[in-house]
Amino acid sequence: LGKKSVLASFLFILLFISVGCSDDSVQPESRLNDYVKLWNKQDFEEMYTDYLSASTKESYKSEDFIDRYEKVYSDLGITDLKVETAFEGEQDREDKEKVTLPIKVKMNSIAGEIEFDKDVELKKETRDEEENWYINWDTTFILPDLQKDEKIGIKSTKAQRGEIFDRNGKGLAINGTAQQVGIVPEQFDDAKKAEVAKILDNTTEYIDKQLNQSWVEPSLFVPIQKIAKDDKERIEQLNAIDGVQFSETAVREYPYKESAAHLTGYVGTITAEELEKHKDKGYSASSVIGKRGLEELLEEQLRGKDGYTIYIDREEPAVIAETEPEDGQSVTLMVDADLQKTAYTNMKGVAGTFSAVQPETGDVLALVSSPSFDPNDFILGMSAENYKKLEENAKQPLLNRFAATFSPGSSIKPLIAMIGLNAGTLDPNKTIDISGLKWSKGEEWGNASITRVTDPKRPVDLEAALQYSDNIYFAQTALAIGEDKLISGLKDLGVGEEKFPLEYPIRASQISNDGKLTSSKLLADTGYGQGEVLMSLVHLASLYGGIVQDGTLMKPRLFETTEAAVWKESITSSDNAALLKKDMRKVVTDGTATAAKSDQFALAGKTGTELKESQDEKGQENGLFVAYDQNNPNAVMSILVENVQDEGGGKAVQKMVLQTFEKWEAEGRN
């Protein structure tokens, strides 16, 4: 071989020997990369068992590592953990037994982002006759500058919950105050314990539990129970007992109490189930959350975000992360709180519901469910016994009736007339001549019949049919309209749509259970508001508002931030609307609603008192009345009272509406 060939062969052999004899053991860079992957997965057990150096394990037991990581990450609400190595490839190093490599740690916490750089020292150790690289760990890996025996502190600054106001700025749900009742043990006579328990509607066992807490000392004020600041009778009784004292405390307050309870709802301490449902949203076990009504519906908007400071607890605390509290957003409703209260008061605890809508704007002025409950009782502490009473009350005060749908009864008749007028199948001047109180299509209906309340002894036109609420007239009107046109006409009024267009979840109105009116008996029954048609009272009031507005049906709106908008452009002609308004005025002056006659108002509207288990039997009867003042048509009010036969009948229902108009007028209409 030539010299060049010999040299090339020699170099090849050297290269072969160099490659073949290279150190193929795990390198510290790849070892740290694997550790970082486990860290990002928060697999703290494997991190401790397989990656920490022997000296680290001598200083830190598994619970000092695994349990502390898990507790710290849980308590600090750590999310979006991202640990990265801050080097590329293998690093040059002189020491073959120890090496330092950089990493970057980034995470989100309840107090905001935490980010720090860290130099990680790895050392070579032999275990089970195998060499590998292990990490010298300390508590600065958890948080920067955290020493072994130091504790991490969390300080919270509460955000103010957004408040709920009515259209005039009156508070429906506000951040108010209550009286915290407490006992100073050294000043208190134990013989008075039963008396205090009775005043607070509580038990001596509960008071003992509070007084026997580990932190209690004889001279300290021990909180027992909150009571309303305007509960003057109980405050006076408790003030007379030595050792009982008061302190003002911040609470959520509902000034309109029962009258707006189903609308506002209330807040309460979050449950374990709610905490799981809303995990990763910043709630803790002590958080307050909306439980019903608008408090629940608008939780995200109202709640705000508490401020947090994470710090290392020292003589001079070292702040790790900090965020300022962000107060929740307040909400203004189009509701008139005084009208809401007036309507509720005038219902006198009967089971039913009331709605009021402003025709020109669609503003929902009132949404009432009766009977009700005081949401302040839940804030101050609702006993299990009192809650059981609410649950077992036959009138179901916990049921939100304004969100439900009901058979509209005869209050649907102006709407059926409107559909007939629009379709050209109803001539308002044409009379029908029916003798007696019953009418049937014989065998086609299985000999079932339709009953009317009054036989006027003369032919009946539209005006008379509305005036005397003639079921037979409107059954025949529906048959003349026909299934297709009646369904189409009801859909034009929003009946049968999938969703009712209000910001509060109101059940959608339906035409029938299957959306069809195939049976002629069902078609006829629908004409006078029986059958299977169901409507909410706020929908009913809105539709009457469309008649008041000469055919323009406004979209109902609850929030001030929602722009007024037309829902249905033209539900009827202005001529048809004028005819219906004239006829509905006659219902009050000379028809079924004479109990609502007044020299002060020119009320017009329609009654509905025909919902029974069977038309031929006595049974449950719901009384309805929808009315507005033709001289000042700024509100359509609708009311439904359940079991009206036990509550004074239809006349009592009409008087409730009249009294509401009177009180609202006296207080100054808005």
pLDDT single digits (tens) 458-505: 999 999 999 999 999 999 999 999 999 999 999 999 999 999 999 999
Is the pLDDT assigned to residue 313 strictly greater than 50?
yes
pLDDT of residue 615: 47
pLDDT of residue 282: 76
pLDDT of residue 94: 65
Sign of torsion over alpha carbons 637, 641, 647, 651: positive
CA distances from 227 to 180, 261, 377, 382, 620 (A): 7, 18, 9, 11, 40
pLDDT in tens, 443-463: 999 989 999 988 888 999 999
- Mean pLDDT, range 557-565, rounded to an integer: 97
pLDDT of residue 17: 40
Per-chain mean pLDDT for the chain: 92
Is the pLDDT assigned to residue 225 strictly greater than 70?
yes
Is the pLDDT assigned to residue 670 strictly greater than 60?
no
* DSSP conformation class of 52: B
- Mean pLDDT, range 393-416, rounded to an integer: 97
Is the pLDDT assigned to residue 421 strictly greater than 80?
yes
- Rounded to an integer, what distance in angstroms lies between the CA atom of residue 476 and that of residue 439? 10
Please tell me which residue, 367 or 386, carries the higher pLDDT value.
367
Is the pLDDT assigned to residue 276 strictly greater than 50?
yes
pLDDT in tens, 150-174: 999 999 898 999 999 999 999 999 9
Please list, in sequence order, all residues whose beta carbon lies within 8 angstroms of the beta carbon of residue 583, skipping any fewer than 6 positions away: 414, 417, 462, 463, 466, 467
- Mean pLDDT, range 193-222, rounded to an integer: 95
User: Going edge to edge, which strands form the sheet with 622-629?
Assistant: 364-370, 352-357, 636-641, 622-629, 603-611
- Mean pLDDT, range 217-236, rounded to an integer: 95
Per the annotation, the verdict on 410 as an active-site residue is: yes
- Rounded to an integer, what distance in angstroms lies between the CA atom of residue 224 and that of residue 338? 34
Is the pLDDT assigned to residue 191 strictly greater than 80?
yes
Of 410, 469, 509, 638, the active-site residue reads 410
3-state secondary structure (DSSP) of residue 204: helix
Q: Are 272 and 296 in contact (CB under 8 A)?
A: no
Q: E strands within 274-385? A: 288-290, 307-312, 318-323, 331-332, 352-357, 364-370
pLDDT of residue 667: 83
pLDDT of residue 611: 56
